[in-house]
A and B are shown apart, each in its own frame.
Chain A
């Protein structure tokens, strides 16, 4: 590799691929919009809505088409997962789970598109930087997990009432039989509760982000194997088949990861929401 591109070119290539299409909207590094993440997330949402709406409009109770069968499979799969975990009644939780699962999967699936295709096409059209996987951007995953976090609090208040909700902060998980013990245990309970609540959105966001980021980086590294290669060099004929095999193996493994991560994001959302709705 070093003979072809040299470490400087390779580092530049990687850095270029890890650079978002940014639009500053205010002072400093904080007020920057990642246009590429926003665009591709909206695109995925549009694809998801279009697919499901189309099937829902044309759904027949007779012999369903292959596409309808596929969509029904997904819906039933999510429905069973929700029913197994969440025992209350809620009109929100199953559609939410379905949306999270499909949207996360679609966004993760953009990782399967060869790393150079869309950025190169966009580069030819005059866009300098482009990262197409929205879930490999911490902003997207954190936005999703913060939404889930707010829903957890809302569910807690709605299903238990505000009194029990606040009371539980001070009385669970350590219970005491008398008033003095309750007062003594209240700070510890509150501290544990705050840590528990704060850890959830962060771990949820970092898990998805870390997996997708690592996956994307490994794809980029595989792409680097023939970076700056020429037909006159003997090494190219060794690296090119190797690159093909490595890309194939990692893609096959990554299909498992993207599905699993979408599933886990959905599952944990359901688990957290049902925990919030249950009485201690």
Chain B
């Protein structure tokens, strides 16, 4: 195990990367969802008869919004639990 410091380096950077991936993704989505939900409530309060149509559209946008952070979470989890880079070190 002469490359143990290298493995430790990879691990620590991986954890930081995963934290950034999840955290920044969550930050962006939180702002996006707040805007989306707020505008939806505003819109349906102004014109209640359009609520159904707005709800469908809101869910479409919610799904679009959802995708990027969840991809980030998937990559972060993969990096933490099945790190491909440690295998490359031969550890």
Residues of A at under 8 Å CB distance from B?
A: 10-11, 14-15, 18, 81, 84, 203, 206-207, 210-211, 213-214, 217-218, 221, 257, 260-261, 263-264, 267-268
Interface size on B, residues (CB 8 A): 18
Residues of B at under 8 Å CB distance from A?
A: 53, 56, 59-60, 62-64, 66-68, 70-71, 73-74, 77-78, 81-82
* Chain A residues positioned under 8 Å from B78 (CB to CB): 217
Given contacts A11-B81, A11-B82, A15-B82, contact A210 B74 (CB under 8 A): yes
* Chain B residues positioned under 8 Å from A264 (CB to CB): 59-60, 63-64
* Chain A residues positioned under 8 Å from B82 (CB to CB): 11, 14-15, 18
Chain B nearest CB, measured from A222 CB (Å): 12
Among candidates B63, B68, B81, residue contacting A261 with C-beta atoms closer than 8 Å: B63
Given contacts A15-B82, A210-B70, contact A263 B63 (CB under 8 A): yes
Cα–Cα, bound, A185→B50 (Å): 40
Given contacts A15-B82, A18-B82, contact A213 B63 (CB under 8 A): no
Cα–Cα, bound, A268→B64 (Å): 10
Given contacts A14-B81, A18-B82, contact A207 B74 (CB under 8 A): no
Tell me if A207 and B81 are in contact (CB < 8 A).
no
Given A206-B67, A217-B74, A264-B60, 19 further pairs, Cβ under 8 A: A10-B81, A11-B81, A11-B82, A14-B81, A18-B82, A84-B53, A207-B71, A210-B67, A210-B68, A210-B74, A211-B66, A214-B70, A214-B73, A214-B77, A217-B78, A217-B81, A263-B60, A264-B64, A267-B60
